[in-house]
Structure 1
Amino acid sequence: MKKASPFIHGTLVLTAANLFSRFIGFYNRIFLAGLIGAHQMGIYQMIFPIYLVGFSLCFQGFQTALSNMTASLRAKGLEGDAKKILSVTVCFTVMLSILFAAVIFIFAEAICQTFFHEDDCIPCLRIAVFALPFVGIKSCIHGYSLGAGTSSLPALSLCIEQISRVASIFLISVTFYAELPAGAILAVLGMVIGEFVSFVFTILSFYFRQKDSVSSIYTRQSLFHQLLSLGMPLTGNALSVTLLQSVESILIPLMLTRFYGNQHTAIETYGILNGMALPFILFPSTMTNSLSVMLLPKISAAKADGSEKTLRRASRYPVIFCLLLGLLGFFGFFTLGPWIGRLVFQSGECGTYLRLLSFLCPFLYISGTLSSILNGLGETKTTFLHNGLSLTLRIFFILFAVPRQGIYGYLFGLTAGSILQVLLNFRHLKQVL
């Protein structure tokens, strides 16, 4: 019997883990929505722009660089150097994470009062940044594992994180939940505990799986310079896009407040959209995200080998698959959206958003795959430009359409931005290939 290729096997493992994680996450969101309400769910969502800036600044780009360097070094038989670059990346990203977390913790009150105008965000943000150093170490090990062609550790770690998050939220809810100053803190505590447990599992699993390696020709200093040269542009791209996304997330509640004339209603609407409807729409993207993660090194290797046939095949079939999945998602959510909203969240408003968001499915599912292919071809500046243009268009709609049309103005902008990004990526990919 023919064994599945590492690419297919890795994609299937990550997809299975992501599907399991999403199912657990759905239960968690349903439980939280019933326990803390849509308003507190909105507050929980509001802290993520700042949290994700830390994620992008401290380790997202360096994780990708580490993965690429690990694959290259291992292909040359330099196992020792691959482990060296892992330790160098861990030390560097932990230092950045601790520094960022300290700054945010100290200035959390000023940040929340300036950007969110919601005091309940202050303790949530201060608690959330404690997770960043643990997430940084875990992400580096995951990047090393993916570079080595092993997806089982990241997949298991993701499942452990979700199980720990849900279990901790449930335990807190039946013990000292009533003593918490804000309901959103329950969700943040669950997130931090889940990340810590997943971090411990990742460290122990990685330690016991490793073997001694002595093949090494590079110094730590030279590897660090390579990491910076490869990781800094990736970090710049990721940070720029994240900052635009953060501006978008901060502006939505503010512009909704102008439309409704009531901050409580604005945050509640934001919580229904981002905390309930969008996670359902993004559920099928677990498969496309796994495909994108495994596709990038495959495209890079095909480009290095100069194999145009492999490049075209590796680009064509994933795009066709994502397009078909997007069309299936559109028909499913357009037909069942109102029923899902009433059944799962007892919210007719959520069901309405699901039906409106269904038009996004083909574009949302295909955009990540197109970006991954272009990144694998070395077109990182192009994907950054396209992401930036898409987000800029969405921000334009938030500033000028949301104050007049409410949440529907944002949905129109989200659709227009997604279509623009897919068209630009597809056009450039045709030119490159």
Structure 2
Amino acid sequence: MKKQSLVKGAFVLTVAAFLAKILIFGNSIVLSRVLGPEGIGLKKMVMPFMSLMMTLTTIGLPVAISRLVAEADAQRDRQKIKKILLIALSITVSLSILMVFLSTIGAKIFLPYFLTDQRAYYSFMAMIPVIPIGAVSGVLKGYFRGKQTMNPLAIAQVLEQIVRIWFTYVLVQRLLPLGIEFAAAGAVLSGVLGEAASLLVFIIMFRISQQRKLRLPRPAWSQVTRGKTIVMELLQTGLPTTGNGFGMSISRALQPIVITKSLALAGIGSALIAKQYGMLAGFVMPLLFLPGFINQSLGITLVPAISEANAHGNLLLIKRRLNQAIGVALIIGAPSTVVLYLFSLELMTVIYHAPAAAPMLKLLAPFFVLNYLQSPLQSVLVGMGRAKTAMINNVLARFITIMLIYPLASNPKLGIKGVIIAMGMGVILETLLHHSSLVKLIGFFLNGQTIAKILAAAMAMGYIGRTFFVLLCSPRVHLGVPISLVVGIIVSIFVYIFLLNMLKVIRKNDLARIPLLGKLFPFWH
């Protein structure tokens, strides 16, 4: 199976993630109609357990596998790739068996203490089969990422959602007469079947990608217990990745508590606190993270690409790939930030009917342009075997953010603005920590000229787009805010692409490497 370039791999995953998001949205519509809010509530109660169990079972090994496979592939060490897969499967399957046993035995004993509604027990039991399926699937995901072949991941991601939607409709409808708790369990089981379909894709693609079966000779099985070097290499990346996930979970749990307590100290009533926090967490943050497909896709493709270059000791290639990834991330992130800032009132009004949330979006959006730098910087640290450094940077930034929320949000003059400022400072701090780590590690510095061109094009785009929007909303034209907003943003995008071409940020050679897009903009050829 052919290896893909960094840009092409990221593009494939971005398109797949976009399609998956649409399907997830469609699935939520199906669920809301056939299951209702009560059933959805029962299903949602067990979702945190699923996330925790998968974290404990995979212990960050998919990321570690992608790094080690990329390095071994660069050195053409096929035997090491076999050992990596065998050891990783041994670890994850063993952990998944243990987790299934503990979950099955302990469900009746411990769940009453954690579930507010005991009817969610059936959803929890329906979730258990996903543990071994997800464990094997995670290993194969890491393998394909390491081989820098992203098509299997993209196909599996889309198929998983299609299977999930179909089974959701069928199972929930059939189980609903037995009770809402069984219907909710059917919805959970649909997700498990979707994951199983995804695993089936990985297995088929894995067999296709091998000219001969990837199987260790019989004497090599005895080497599994002696593969301490590979185990240590896997855990060196896997454990910090797991620690990073736990740190994120803890900070997410603490943040709403600190925010609400701090706002109460500022003299804000409980009803207003709930409203303000709801607008921030439910309206502002989803919009800010909406263009994050590119960050996730770049993070997945960059780790093995950097590991491969690192295996060859090619420092110049590492720096070039990082600057390339940052450029791609900013090409998406900069205009997104400008649009969210300039059209904050219109977006909040049209999408959420919540114009009161617009000042929050306008204040936080400029900070988040740095968020697009974080994923490439962190991925390079992980790709070079510095996952522990990345974890320390992330955990430190998140907990400093929480510490800043208290003095700022409890100030009556700031209130919810204090929360936003603290979050913005956290974004800045995390980005600076990752950047300073790479400066020390490889002497990396950002390409200021390219960044300046992208930011200039984004600001010019925003000015022209906003002017066009105002013209469409004027009494002479008066198309209405929703239509004017859509047209204004579309015009902004085309202006932005034209400016990037004029400034030679994107050249026809770059465009040729991205599937489909080159045909949409023939004036670049």
TM over 0.5, yes or no?
yes
5 Å-filtered alignment, 1:166-315, equals 166-172=165-171, 174-177=173-176, 179-181=179-181, 188-212=188-212, 219-220=220-221, 221-222=223-224, 224-251=227-254, 278-315=285-322
Change (3 A) 1:356 1:91: farther
Map of 2:502 onto structure 1: none
Runs of 5+ unmatched residues, structure 1:
none
Map of 2:136 onto structure 1: 137
Structure 1: how far apart are the matches of 2:336 and 2:16?
20
Structure 1: how far apart are the matches of 2:109 and 2:416?
27
Structure 2: how far apart are the matches of 1:387 and 1:315?
19
Structure 1: how far apart are the matches of 2:83 and 2:355?
54
Identify which range, 376-385 or 73-82, moves more after superposition: 73-82
Change (3 A) 1:430 1:225: same
Map of 2:425 onto structure 1: 416
Structure 2: how far apart are the matches of 1:430 and 1:397?
27
Change (3 A) 1:141 1:108: same
Q: Deviations over 1:63-94 (max 9, x none)?
A: 22322333344444443552343233223202
5 Å-filtered alignment, 1:262-411, equals 278-336=285-343, 358-359=365-366, 361-396=368-403
CA RMSD, 1 decimal: 4.2
Q: Deviations over 1:321-357 (max 9, x none)?
A: 3234222222233455565566566777887876666
Q: Deviations over 1:372-393 (max 9, x none)?
A: 0122233222211101112213
Aligned 8 A contact 2:259 2:419 in 1: no
Map of 2:448 onto structure 1: none
Structure 2: how far apart are the matches of 1:403 and 1:111?
37
Change (3 A) 1:26 1:354: farther
Q: CA deviation at 1:413?
A: 4.5
Q: CA deviation at 1:119?
A: 5.2
What amino acid does structure 2 have at the position aligned with 1:240? G
Q: Deviations over 1:81-133 (max 9, x none)?
A: 52343233223202212322443454457766656756576554444343121
Change (3 A) 1:214 1:231: closer
Identify which range, 65-74 or 292-301, moves more after superposition: 65-74
Q: CA deviation at 1:254?
A: 5.6
Change (3 A) 1:43 1:372: farther
Aligned 8 A contact 1:302 1:311 in 2: yes
Change (3 A) 1:191 1:344: farther
Map of 1:100 onto structure 2: 99
5 Å-filtered alignment, 1:54-93, equals 54-93=53-92
Map of 2:497 onto structure 1: none
Aligned 8 A contact 1:322 1:365 in 2: yes
Structure 2: how far apart are the matches of 1:307 and 1:209?
27
Identify which range, 371-380 or 20-29, moves more after superposition: 20-29
What amino acid does structure 2 have at the position aligned with 1:296? V
Aligned 8 A contact 1:277 1:350 in 2: yes
Structure 1: how far apart are the matches of 2:36 and 2:303?
39
Q: CA deviation at 1:276?
A: 6.9
Aligned 8 A contact 1:65 1:227 in 2: no
Map of 1:428 onto structure 2: 437
Change (3 A) 1:317 1:71: closer
* Secondary structure of 1:219 counterpart: helix
Structure 1: how far apart are the matches of 2:419 and 2:402?
9
Q: CA deviation at 1:315?
A: 1.9
Identify which range, 357-366 or 198-207, moves more after superposition: 357-366
What amino acid does structure 2 have at the position aligned with 1:389? L
Change (3 A) 1:110 1:272: farther
Change (3 A) 1:149 1:325: closer
Map of 2:26 onto structure 1: 27
Structure 1: how far apart are the matches of 2:181 and 2:417?
33
* Secondary structure of 2:212 counterpart: coil
* Secondary structure of 2:60 counterpart: helix
Aligned 8 A contact 1:79 1:214 in 2: no
Q: Which structure has the greater CA radius of gyration? A: 2
Aligned 8 A contact 2:62 2:142 in 1: yes
Aligned 8 A contact 2:144 2:153 in 1: yes
Aligned 8 A contact 1:80 1:213 in 2: no
Structure 2: how far apart are the matches of 1:119 and 1:399?
36
Q: CA deviation at 1:227?
A: 3.2
Aligned 8 A contact 1:169 1:186 in 2: yes
Q: Identity across aligned pairs (percent)? A: 24
Q: Deviations over 1:149-201 (max 9, x none)?
A: 32111111111112222333344455544732398757634432321221223
What amino acid does structure 2 have at the position aligned with 1:194? G
